Structure 1
Amino acid sequence: LAVQRVTSEWKGRVDYLDAEWTKRLQDSEEKATLAIAKVKAEMHNALEDKELEIQNIRTKYKQLESQGSDSQHQIDELKSTIEALENEKSDMVLKLSEAKQQGVKAIREDEERKRKEIVEEMERKRAEDQRNYEQKLEDELKKQVRLYW
């Protein structure tokens, strides 16, 4: 009876710790996912702004072309501006891709570190609970032996 009680207590502790660490890990994963989503949204907005700027310049370029304007200088300037903005946009896309990769890598490393910490903590708790269980069992056995002597 005492052994069952001690075993039940030990199992309850392990179940509680397992649930607690699972919740902590899920919370951490959610925070990391939200952070990445926020960065991606900001980069997406910046890309949309850049695209809008490019469209506006293209519109202005077409207007000048259609007016038959002889201001070739303005047209050349707008072409070079469009090219520069396209290059900036390409760089931003590349940086966004790199940021995504770094974010995923950082999350994986953080999750692995946390997983190891959880495993170590669970092992430490398990060993401690095992020692406590064995001590309680030994105490119960001593009590039982005293009762029979």
Structure 2
Amino acid sequence: MKNIKRNFAQGNRSLLSYVALVGCALTSCSPIGNQKKFDWHNVWASNREKLILLTEDIKVNGGKKYKLGNNEFVDGFPYPFNEGFVVKGGREIDSAKILVKYYLDRGVMDHYSAFVYTNDSSEVRNLNKKVEAGANDYKLESNWYIIND
């Protein structure tokens, strides 16, 4: 009977260890979930023109070259982060109401950092509220933001 209790207790400890390890891996308490460190001021300054041109291309070429949802950068696109970008809209890409997130960091579960462009008035209001809340979000220029969620 003692052996059964000892084996049961050891099994619970290893199960608890496994659950704690998996839990840590899926949250920001491990290197897998930690945010990248970067100076977004310099990243914006050196990539601003490229992102503006890409955004204009998305607005002009819409569904021909890009899709709603996740997109990968084309090979050779000179952006220092290989996290891709997301295009949001209605049922299709609408150049008059668009939101594009150019990721700097995509966390495993609980965070992301991105340069965000939108010309959708309701999204602009939402992003302006985030900026006014004074957290870690900033308006870069008209319709452009750095968002850290």
Do the two structures share a fold, i.e. TM-score over 0.5?
no
User: Highest CA radius of gyration, 1 or 2?
Assistant: 1
- Using structure 1 for the length normalisation, give the TM-score: 0.27
Larger relative helix fraction: 1
- Using structure 2 for the length normalisation, give the TM-score: 0.27
